[in-house]
Structure 1
Amino acid sequence: METEWVEVNLKDICVNKSNTCKDLESANIERYVGLEHLEPEDLRISSWGLVKDGTTFTKIFSSGQVLFGKRRSYQKKAAVADFSGVCSGDILVLEAKQDLIIPELLPYIVQNDNFFDYAVGTSSGSLSPRTSWKHLSSYKVRIPQDKSTQKEIVERLNKIEYAIIQKKNLEKATRIYKKKLMKEILSKGINYAEFKQTDFGEIPLTWKIQKLYEISSRVTRKNKEELTDNVLTISAQLGLVNQMEFFNKKVASKNLQGYYLLEKGDFAYNKSYSNGYPMGAIKPLERYDLGVVSSLYICFRMLSDFVNNNFMKYYFESDLWHSEVSKIAQEGARNHGLLNISVKDFFEINICLPPLIEQEKIVSILSKVDAQIKSYEQESLKMIAIKKSLQQRLL
């Protein structure tokens, strides 16, 4: 006998929980989750904040519930909690109605391209579009009435989800290894025996300390001829990326003539600080031949006689330059998330620089690690595509 499938609204199979708690200590709630802790297209919650460090969140969630990011839902953030805590008001807490659906199926209904598209289509707002439970509750989905069939679907999706997690764990472990390797190789070099003491600590005897202005030139060319309308923003994770790709909309002004014009290989410094990037982010333009950035960014081009561009990419990816910037960022002088750093002071920072031939060797070593990370990423993406295809067929 064939299983009967029925079309239901989301509100028929789950509840939007909005319970709150103000005395988190008495309730023994130790962890909180913000949107920044949810990874795109990842059903796991692998990071969180500690309540003891301070939070304004009061919305409670429990293990087994689904957390969905309703702000900027195009970022595709939905995950299953495996612990209890509190979360941001921009996160919906969804709980399955177990008389109609097994709880394990709900995450695959929510973390689904059809659902994300619906969420985006029901969002409103300019810079931070939000959807709401009022709109999402009417989302329609077909499910099998028979719970044994629901269980079979979950088991098939769980198998590929497990494979995805394994690849992502390998990628994460390789990234951790790369970070440790960069810290070592960018300050100690390759097989050195003799060192000298500097403000950076001990560095190889043949390495130099040079000012940024000595090995680069500032880029101040404006987009007056309107050579491109490719407006870029700096993402700490993605680098210099098109605003439409990152925000799903243009947030720049219509007139781009006052924006700095960057060529491939040029660097831009975003003084905005964020979690994991206390001194902001410096990234090279790699994805496009031309692009424009806000004049709030400090832009520069490396002088090829002194430095390998890819070496500087890795250098700025590390935290070696943070201590230099922290010296010139006036304490307490942070304005709207921007570090108070003048252009002149920025170009005065010291750079720890090996000879050009060794820069190239370091780039070769780190590039191989990057290639392995990319391989894991691509394998994960292939598996995610297979999972999505299954979801389309099964749900």
Structure 2
Amino acid sequence: MVSDMIGQTSKNNVLIDVPEKWEVVKIEDIFKAIDGDRGKNYPNEKDFLSNGYCLFLDTKNVTKTGFSFKTKKFISEEKENTLRNGKLERNDIVMTSRGTIGNISFFDETVPFENIRINSAMLILRAKVDDIIYKYWMQLLRGKVIEEFIRRAKVGSAQPHITKKSLNSLKVAIPSRKEEQTKIAAILSSVDNAIEKTEAIIEQTEKVKKGLMQQLLTKGIGHTRFKKTEIGEIPVEWEVQTLEEVSLGKGEYGIGAKATEYRANQPRYLRITDIDDRGKLIPSDKKGIAEENYERYLLEYGDIVFARTGNTTGKSYLYDDKDGSLVFAGFLIRFKLNKEIVNPMFISSIVNTKYYWNWVKVMSTRSGQPGINGNEYSSFMVPVPSLLEQDKIASMLSIFDEKIEKETRFYQKLNTLKKGLMQVLLTGKVRVKVDENEVVST
């Protein structure tokens, strides 16, 4: 419990405890909120260019951790001059306000574009005061106070959004002394830096692994003679077989049962949403299963499951004993790999290649709705080296998997630490001394 609270205030039913030497301010006291242009000159698809004078932000460009420019679209200077509100100035904060709400980015000197405009699903927060501590406000706007505000203030069911008026009126408690804001921002930023470095290590390791996979899964180890096949050029000694041919039968659909609260002495219910983009089990949000007759749906070593419908079609998970007892759900299809023919890790690597995902793209859109059924998965063709060579390839790739898993666990710990620090530092439950480099609990 915080011992130096001086009072409480509330806005939108959000209770704000106010520590000593902190003050309550409205967002509109600190920032001017600016909409993007929504008039008749708003750009349409024919106005967008792959390169141009002004970067026109899409919601994909504004993420939870800052700007991302993996995809970009531009408008011409002529088009830009027809627009009114929504052009960024350096040190503006951008917040997504429609659809995906609450992602925050900062337009500082590190952003390599001079002319940028927001789209109609964003707001600009432009400082009204000269001595604002931007790093503090970036942390605060990414914290629980804003999450709770969004939860309560968003309107609309088809496309949820927050209004400029409601954001302007939001009250937040902040340290009165800029020195305390600076210290808090420095602590949280140091964890952010560690998170970014860990992300970079994971990304680089995955990049190196992909390059090695491309070499090993098409050229093998030590081969000099190659042949052309329906799946491309492979070593002469390799064969091409279907997924069904390297499995103990056809694909099996999962159990159609309701998810229930997870209990430690029961198997976990494996749903599509429990599998991450790397094909690993997500440890959080565990669910159990109400159905009693689930034994035939329990996963075993050598089982691989595939998502069969929706936007996750093609996603796969190779069962790992370390994940405990798992019962797979109805939107997944299981293949029991024949371990006398294939190394399960080798097949798991195959279904994480560009070749596989190109196949998924073609197969899943033929009917108009994304989806691949059991017979279609059965027909997927895989290269099959000798079992000894598969073992060697799987062993080489596992070195990178272990590195990625280790760094991912560290990344998750850092994020947990960051959330905990935000909760106590941005609320004043733990105070920083402005005259010493230490954190003390009140």
TM-score, L = length of structure 1: 0.74
In 1, Cα distance between equivalents of 2:258 and 2:116:
53
Kindly state the Cα deviation for residue 107 of structure 1 after the two structures are TM-superposed.
Answer: 1.0
Deviations along 1:324-359, one digit per CA (max 9) or x if unpaired, are 45665666x423xx15x5543332221112222222
- Is 1:360 matched up with 2:391? yes
Q: Aligned pair in 2 of structure 1 residues 114, 225: CA closer, same or farther (>3 Å)? A: closer
Aligned to 2:68: 45
In 2, Cα distance between equivalents of 1:393 and 1:326:
46
- Is 1:232 matched up with 2:260? no
Kindly state the Cα deviation for residue 208 of structure 1 after the two structures are TM-superposed.
Answer: 1.3
Where structure 1 has 5 or more consecutive residues not aligned to the other structure, the ranges are: 53-57
In 2, Cα distance between equivalents of 1:116 and 1:358:
51
Kindly state the Cα deviation for residue 10 of structure 1 after the two structures are TM-superposed.
Answer: 3.3
Kindly state the Cα deviation for residue 300 of structure 1 after the two structures are TM-superposed.
Answer: 2.8
AA of the residue aligned to 2:349: Y
Deviations along 1:154-198, one digit per CA (max 9) or x if unpaired, are 344434433332222222111211121111111112232332222
Give % identity. Answer: 22
* Contact 1:209–1:351 (8 Å) recurs in 2: yes
* Contact 2:31–2:126 (8 Å) recurs in 1: yes
In 1, Cα distance between equivalents of 2:185 and 2:160:
31
Q: Aligned pair in 2 of structure 1 residues 302, 133: CA closer, same or farther (>3 Å)? A: farther
Aligned to 1:55: none
In 1, Cα distance between equivalents of 2:198 and 2:152:
32
Deviations along 1:221-274, one digit per CA (max 9) or x if unpaired, are 53479997836125562647679849xxx9xxx9999xx956253312344458
Q: Which of 285, 298, 318 is the equivalent residue of 1:284? A: 318
- Is 1:301 matched up with 2:336? yes
* Contact 1:266–1:300 (8 Å) recurs in 2: yes
Kindly state the Cα deviation for residue 318 of structure 1 after the two structures are TM-superposed.
Answer: 1.3
The secondary structure found in structure 1 opposite 2:91 is coil
In 1, Cα distance between equivalents of 2:161 and 2:328:
28
Aligned to 1:373: 404
The secondary structure found in structure 2 opposite 1:317 is coil
Matches within 5 A, 1:8-157: 8-20=25-37, 22-23=42-43, 28-35=53-60, 37-40=61-64, 42-51=65-74, 60=86, 62=88, 63-69=90-96, 77-81=103-107, 82=111, 83=113, 85-86=116-117, 89-99=120-130, 101-120=132-151, 122=153, 136-157=167-188
- Is 1:188 matched up with 2:219? yes
The secondary structure found in structure 2 opposite 1:351 is strand
Aligned to 1:320: 355
Q: Which of 273, 280, 305 is the equivalent residue of 1:267? A: 305
Aligned to 1:334: 368
Kindly state the Cα deviation for residue 370 of structure 1 after the two structures are TM-superposed.
Answer: 1.8
In 2, Cα distance between equivalents of 1:60 and 1:316:
43
Aligned to 2:251: 218
In 2, Cα distance between equivalents of 1:256 and 1:10:
53
* Contact 1:231–1:242 (8 Å) recurs in 2: no
In 2, Cα distance between equivalents of 1:221 and 1:151:
53
* Contact 2:305–2:334 (8 Å) recurs in 1: yes
AA of the residue aligned to 1:232: R
In 1, Cα distance between equivalents of 2:30 and 2:158:
32
Query: What is the Cα-based RMSD across aligned positions, in Å?
Result: 4.3
Q: Which of 176, 193, 199 is the equivalent residue of 1:168? A: 199
Q: Rg bigger for which structure?
A: 2
Matches within 5 A, 1:337-352: 338-339=370-371, 341=372, 343-352=374-383
Kindly state the Cα deviation for residue 366 of structure 1 after the two structures are TM-superposed.
Answer: 1.6
In 1, Cα distance between equivalents of 2:137 and 2:179:
15
Where structure 2 has 5 or more consecutive residues not aligned to the other structure, the ranges are: 1-19, 76-82, 260-265, 427-442
TM-score, L = length of structure 2: 0.67
AA of the residue aligned to 1:269: A
In 2, Cα distance between equivalents of 1:255 and 1:134:
49
Aligned to 1:311: 346
In 2, Cα distance between equivalents of 1:145 and 1:39:
29
Kindly state the Cα deviation for residue 48 of structure 1 after the two structures are TM-superposed.
Answer: 3.3
Q: Aligned pair in 2 of structure 1 residues 214, 200: CA closer, same or farther (>3 Å)? A: same
